[in-house]
Amino acid sequence: MAEDKKTSDSNSPPADFKSERDRFVKSFTRGSRLTDEFIQDYEQLLERLAVLEAENGSLHAQVAADRAVRDLVQKIERLEAEKTDLLSRTNRAEAITNQFTTRVQEVESEFSNLANLYVASNQLHSSLSPRGVTRRIKEVLAQLVGAERYSMYLANEDGTELVPIASEGVPGGDLLPVSVAGSRLGDVLKKGEAVVEEDSDPSRGALDRPAAVIPLVVDERVVGVIAIFSTLSQKTRFDAVDFELFRLLGQHAAQALVSASLFAQAERRLPGLEAFLDLSV
């Protein structure tokens, strides 16, 4: 028994070995735990690295995309500027075109007015018979001015009355001599200035309130008047060309009529050459 005890004692490791072993085991266990922790940390770091690399890749892609977007934005801005410039140029071109179109319309209108005046003048002087001249005066009034009811008067010798010599659309009973004193027609004869109702519709004119009264002049003397009582229903105002026609009629109608009357009185004989020899021109 004592020997067993002795053996047992001899087999048991020395106490410092035991404590050494314990320390070793302890140390090993701690090392193992640290290793586990290291491995765990390492794996976490690997995961973090993968995440960061992914983030990095994403950021790179984003930067590239941002650059592309910036390029596109710059391109859009450039195109917008070009578009603005083109629009501005188009607007300028349109404004010029509009100006040009307006000018062309004005020229065409002016041409039309001049054509009216030329034709009226040409027609007034294309006849040497009083009837022919009267017919042409009436044509100018009806066709060019658009007069529907009108009358032409000449003053009598002492200038006290205006006597109707031609008319259209006026009942015979209304075609009477008009006293110069105290009448609208007489006022125009005395003053030599046309009177035109510019503020009212000339198609609604009346015998006692003519739409226009035009003085007829021969050699700077007022010898009669044309009274336009009313115009055609579609002619609701006088235009600039009408005022030119009134002027032309005033200056040429009576002259043409007087020339035609003198020619008729001379039995349509042309004056001899001697009538032109002492003109001193």
Partner 1 sequence: MSEYSCLIVEDSPMMRQLLVFALARVKNLRVTEADDGVDGLRKLASARYDIIVTDINMPIMDGLKLVKRVRSDPVHKDTPIVIITTEGSQEDRQRALQLGANAYITKPIQAPQVIATVKELLRID
Under the rule (CB under 8 A), what is the footprint of partner 1? 105, 108-109, 111-112, 115-116, 118-120, 122-123, 136, 139-140, 142-146, 232-235
Helices (H), 125-143: 130-139
Residue placing its CB nearer to partner 1 in the complex, 123 or 151: 123
Residue placing its CB nearer to partner 1 in the complex, 19 or 97: 97
Which residue in this structure is represented by tokens 């226009």? Answer: 212
CA dist 138 and 147 (Å) reads 9
* Minimum distance from residue 76 beta carbon to partner 1 (Å): 39
Residue placing its CB nearer to partner 1 in the complex, 50 or 115: 115
Residue placing its CB nearer to partner 1 in the complex, 207 or 232: 232
Of 198, 185, 174, which Cα lies nearest the Cα of 225? 185
* Minimum distance from residue 240 beta carbon to partner 1 (Å): 12
Annotate 151-196 with DSSP letters as a single string.
EEEEE-TTSSEEEEEEEES--GGG---EESTTSHHHHHHHH---EE
* Minimum distance from residue 170 beta carbon to partner 1 (Å): 16
Do 242 and 270 contact (CB within 8 A), yes or no?
no
Residue placing its CB nearer to partner 1 in the complex, 146 or 210: 146
List of residues 6+ apart from 145 with CB closer than 8 A: 228, 231, 235, 242, 245, 246
- Name the residue type at position 167: S
* Minimum distance from residue 115 beta carbon to partner 1 (Å): 4
Range 247-263 burial, b when 16+ CB lie within 10 A, else e? ebbbbbbbbbbbbbeeb
Other C-beta atoms closer than 10 Å to the C-beta of 241 total 20
* Minimum distance from residue 142 beta carbon to partner 1 (Å): 7
Annotate 27-52 with DSSP letters as a single string.
HHHHHHHHHHHHHHHHHHHHHHHHHH
CA angle 69, 74, 78 (to 5 degrees): 145
Residue placing its CB nearer to partner 1 in the complex, 19 or 102: 102
* Minimum distance from residue 123 beta carbon to partner 1 (Å): 5
Per DSSP, what are the bridge partners of residue 231? 147
* Minimum distance from residue 111 beta carbon to partner 1 (Å): 7
Residue placing its CB nearer to partner 1 in the complex, 127 or 151: 127
